[in-house]
Structure 1
Amino acid sequence: MSWLDKIPAAARTYLDNNRLDEVECVIADFPGIARGKAVPAAKWERQQYFHLPNSIFFQTITGDWAEAATDGFTEPDMTLRPDLDTATATPWAADGTLQVIHDAYDMAGNPVGVAPRNVLKRVVALYRERGWTPIVAPEMEFYLVGKNVDPAKEILPMMGRTGRPAAARQAYSMTAVDEYGPVIDDIYEYAEIQGIEIDGITQEGGAGQLEINLRHGDPIRLADDVFFFKRLIREAALKHDCFATFMAKPIEGEPGSAMHVHHSILDASGRNIFCGPDGEETPEFLNFVGGLQRHMPAAIAVIAPYVNSYRRYVRNHAAPINLEWGRDNRTTGLRVPVSSPEARRIENRLPGMDCNPYLCIAASLACGYLGMTQQTPAGAMFEGDAYKSDAEIPYSLSDALDLFEDSKDLQSVLGEEFARVYSIVKRTENDEFLQVISPWEREHLLLNV
């Protein structure tokens, strides 16, 4: 069978209309950057795998290297094999180009435990061993901003079609969405060509801030879609002379950007195990909530992976600071949205949009898995404004890593080798940040202390 018979219908449609010139063989690193190789189409036809050094997982966001190798920095190769189910168009390319996500294996054929997609596969496999099928639905928030080529300058909202900066504090305004209609038109077009289904686009509360929702489904497939979507959105923005940013807190005084994740679990018959025979909440539902409450503090280091991530967690500013759960309550960290009992789900509102989608979904599912397997009780449902409750999450990346490194249960689900390397890389990034002197320090400390 030809490999063309194994790729999704949207990719085949794209190739019906475009001569294939190149294939981008990609894999996500810790930040979610697409690493890999661009291969001429003729070579792709003959190639079943390719190699990259395992050091791509030791690289920090600045491009430096963390000392995470166990036997010296020898950079041994991994074997990367394509998952043809992920093949999708690269519609912004000048010539016919496909992107294909690859999975990483060592030379003995074992999955590389630190590869983010493999981490998520590991967690999903644990669910399936118990006859459970996890279902997720991510919500992606991001900003469209003016081109910022000087890091010393503040980030500003993009200029809208009216000649004014994109509107702030106009949540759900259709007029605000129309300000950057051409960018959104290209996002829709690129997504359709790539076969990614958008559930909706809305204006959020920040200046130039949008939210895109994806339909619920398989965690690995949805993480692939978010991985592709970040690149898609960036390319659509660049086409219109602006930037798309997924920083957790890009603009001072504006809300941060989250990646809320909705969770439900199906049994072997396809029944939602969060719903009992009479529509009641089940022990599994309450245990999943309890697992999130108990283990999410340690998982914050994964779902809020940068020093900037912690600027988003501000009381009364559209991001949770607690681990309370409530029904239809957006002030709680864990929300149960309005739905029929059969569609009952739990929304984790803590992750930032700067997360790696594979690692974020893996960490959130891992907390729920531990809750169900350990039968962790949930706290009492919270009534009222949860911003009035005590903060229950770490205030910095360093504090979050302390909790992550102490959580043997969470590490056992995500994988000990992943946890070891991830912690070293993030500690290195935090140390790099501490070497930078900020404008605030120069303004307030230079002549006053």
Structure 2
Amino acid sequence: MTPKEVLAHIRQREVTTVDFRFMDFPGVWQHFSIPADALTEETFEEGIAFDGSSVVGWRAINEADLLVVPQPETALVDPFTAQPTLTMICNIHDPITHQDYTRDPRNIARKAVSYMRSLGVADRFMLAPELEFFIFDDVRYAQNQHEAFYHVDSVEGAWNRGRAEQPNLGYKPVSGLGYFPCPPTDSLVNLRTEMSQRLAECGIKTAAHFHEVATGGQCEIDLDSQDLVESADQVMMARYIIRNVARNSGKTATFMPKPLYGDNGSGMHTHLTLWKNDEPLLAGTGYGTLSDLGLYAIGGLLKHAPALCAFANPTTNSYKRLIEGFEAPTKLSYSRRNRAAIVRIPVSGASPRSRRIEYRCPDSAANPYLLFSAMLMAVVDGIQNKIRPGDPLDKDIYDLKPEELARVPTTPRTLTASLEALRADHDFLLRGDVFTPDIIDTWIWYKISNEIEALRVRPHPYEFALYYDI
């Protein structure tokens, strides 16, 4: 919609409130609201001032002011508010220069697309993320000076088979065997269907939804392919919808990568395609029926894979998912079918338009604007410099001899290692001023100070089991 059409839509739907959404630096949606009659056409040009120093990773207190500038094409009526509320996603501007604020993740994504187009590499970079998440019935956690614990519960939990549920009706997925069971074992099908319907009402198309491998209510909803910025917008709206549908049903949804020990974690496998003049660029006669350009794109992803993990797997918990087993993508290689490789070329139809590359490493804790932008910059680097991806990993890794397996590099084992890789390898992100040295430095500083060090200095509950009687 245009600004005029947004205002007309507000009158037509008798909207009382306008809600502005924007992305903070780590990757959490923020918002504030104004009365609907306070929105004017000028708002779309001039924006509305807010305190940027209170947003994580942004302004210092002595230069706090920033502007939110609503984007009319993102307008939709919120399906969860009690009063009719129209939401819009916003870009962030500097109030003095009225230029895009460099630390706004959405602005970084827009710059990445512009950079790709300026090079003539492609005119569309499209992504289709697969959102995996857990739905629990109860969650409790605390971290204080004298205690640290978490407890999650799910009526689907394999650990609940013997629980007195008055009555306990059984049909609980076995750990590691939760993939594709029919109801009643899949007790969440109606909830996922409602989530998909709400997504459709908000203009977000889904390709499929189903129960995932883990016990304890692990689900997946796959989104249709969209251009980079729109895809990141839809990931954020999808998370919002999934969480609120779950909550309205008396449950809780989490995109935490590894909430359950000893079972599969949640990823965000992302399928990517490149287009120019509406022609697909990935299809060809090479390995996996890819073009040379497609293989170069994989080469770029693999070359920069450790650094990309700083955005694809941005939490300490992410690396509890990236371990051997549980179908985790830990091998820095590519394959048509081996799901241990971080890049897969899915078996698809004969049409060149269906050819795609699946980047399996990311998880849903990622800031999608930063992740998708970093992926694009790695792909562009691979294409520009004709980076060959090496030999594919088509063997079952469990059949490889130890010395052969040792030659296949793996993903970083910790967030610290990923950030060190990013510190050493980020020049490809700086091209076209898409990312800036300030963004890289701030990301590394924030993650070390607020997550790595915060975890390092606190006793872990398992340490009591290991050392209390030492």
TM-score > 0.5 by shorter chain: yes
Within 5 Å, which residues of 2 pair with 1:391-430? Answer: 391-413=409-431, 414-429=435-450, 430=452
Determine whether 1:180 maps to 2:188.
yes
Point out which structure has higher relative CO (alpha carbons under 8 A, 6+ apart). 1
The residue that corresponds to 1:294 in the other structure is 303
Distance in structure 1 (CA, Å) of the matches to 2:365 and 2:337: 25
- Supply the AA of the counterpart residue of 1:260: H
**Which runs of 4 or more aligned residues in structure 1 lie more than 4 Å from their structure 2 counterparts after TM superposition?**
158-166, 277-280
Distance in structure 2 (CA, Å) of the matches to 1:274 and 1:188: 29
The residue that corresponds to 1:62 in the other structure is none
Q: 1:183 to 1:58 in 2, by over 3 A?
A: same
- Supply the AA of the counterpart residue of 1:28: M
- Supply the AA of the counterpart residue of 2:92: A
Structure 1: runs of 5 or more not aligned: 60-67
- Supply the AA of the counterpart residue of 2:125: P
State the shift of 1:329 in Å.
2.7
The match for 1:29 among 24, 37, 42 is 24
The residue that corresponds to 1:345 in the other structure is 356
The residue that corresponds to 1:5 in the other structure is 5
The residue that corresponds to 1:65 in the other structure is none
Determine whether 1:93 maps to 2:81.
yes
Determine whether 1:320 maps to 2:329.
yes
State the shift of 1:371 in Å.
0.7
Q: 1:393 to 1:181 in 2, by over 3 A?
A: closer
Distance in structure 2 (CA, Å) of the matches to 1:428 and 1:262: 32
- Paired residues, number: 432
Within 5 Å, which residues of 2 pair with 1:39-54? Answer: 39-45=34-40, 47-48=43-44, 49-54=47-52
- Supply the AA of the counterpart residue of 1:440: Y
Distance in structure 2 (CA, Å) of the matches to 1:177 and 1:135: 35
The match for 1:284 among 287, 290, 293 is 293
State whether residues 18 and 33 of structure 2, in contact with CA within 8 Å, keep that contact through their aligned partners in structure 1.
yes
State the shift of 1:157 in Å.
2.6
Distance in structure 2 (CA, Å) of the matches to 1:360 and 1:280: 26
Determine whether 1:437 maps to 2:459.
yes
Secondary structure at the aligned position of 1:175 is classed as: coil
The residue that corresponds to 2:160 in the other structure is none
Q: 1:431 to 1:165 in 2, by over 3 A?
A: farther
Determine whether 1:229 maps to 2:238.
yes
The match for 1:213 among 216, 222, 225 is 222
State the shift of 1:281 in Å.
2.7
The range that moved more, 30-39 or 299-308, is: 30-39
Q: 1:122 to 1:443 in 2, by over 3 A?
A: same
Distance in structure 1 (CA, Å) of the matches to 2:355 and 2:464: 51
Determine whether 1:118 maps to 2:107.
yes
Determine whether 1:360 maps to 2:349.
no
Within 5 Å, which residues of 2 pair with 1:127-166? Answer: 127-131=116-120, 132=122, 133-151=124-142, 152-158=149-155
Secondary structure at the aligned position of 2:318 is classed as: helix
State whether residues 283 and 289 of structure 2, in contact with CA within 8 Å, keep that contact through their aligned partners in structure 1.
yes
Q: Deviations over 1:156-178 (max 9, x none)?
A: 33559975585342201232674
State the shift of 1:266 in Å.
0.8
State whether residues 26 and 36 of structure 1, in contact with CA within 8 Å, keep that contact through their aligned partners in structure 2.
yes
Distance in structure 2 (CA, Å) of the matches to 1:444 and 1:52: 48
Q: 1:50 to 1:163 in 2, by over 3 A?
A: farther
- Supply the AA of the counterpart residue of 1:53: D
State whether residues 183 and 189 of structure 2, in contact with CA within 8 Å, keep that contact through their aligned partners in structure 1.
no
The residue that corresponds to 2:145 in the other structure is none
Secondary structure at the aligned position of 1:92 is classed as: coil
State whether residues 159 and 166 of structure 1, in contact with CA within 8 Å, keep that contact through their aligned partners in structure 2.
yes
Distance in structure 2 (CA, Å) of the matches to 1:178 and 1:116: 37
Secondary structure at the aligned position of 2:304 is classed as: helix
State whether residues 140 and 259 of structure 1, in contact with CA within 8 Å, keep that contact through their aligned partners in structure 2.
yes
Distance in structure 2 (CA, Å) of the matches to 1:98 and 1:393: 42
- Supply the AA of the counterpart residue of 2:260: I
Distance in structure 2 (CA, Å) of the matches to 1:81 and 1:135: 25
Q: 1:277 to 1:401 in 2, by over 3 A?
A: closer
Secondary structure at the aligned position of 1:149 is classed as: strand
Q: 1:367 to 1:135 in 2, by over 3 A?
A: same
- Supply the AA of the counterpart residue of 1:194: C
Distance in structure 1 (CA, Å) of the matches to 2:98 and 2:418: 34
- Supply the AA of the counterpart residue of 1:50: I
State whether residues 273 and 284 of structure 1, in contact with CA within 8 Å, keep that contact through their aligned partners in structure 2.
yes
Secondary structure at the aligned position of 2:130 is classed as: strand
Distance in structure 1 (CA, Å) of the matches to 2:79 and 2:226: 24
The range that moved more, 405-414 or 151-160, is: 151-160
Distance in structure 2 (CA, Å) of the matches to 1:2 and 1:270: 25
State whether residues 25 and 36 of structure 1, in contact with CA within 8 Å, keep that contact through their aligned partners in structure 2.
yes
State whether residues 2 and 73 of structure 2, in contact with CA within 8 Å, keep that contact through their aligned partners in structure 1.
no
Structure 2: runs of 5 or more not aligned: 143-148, 158-166
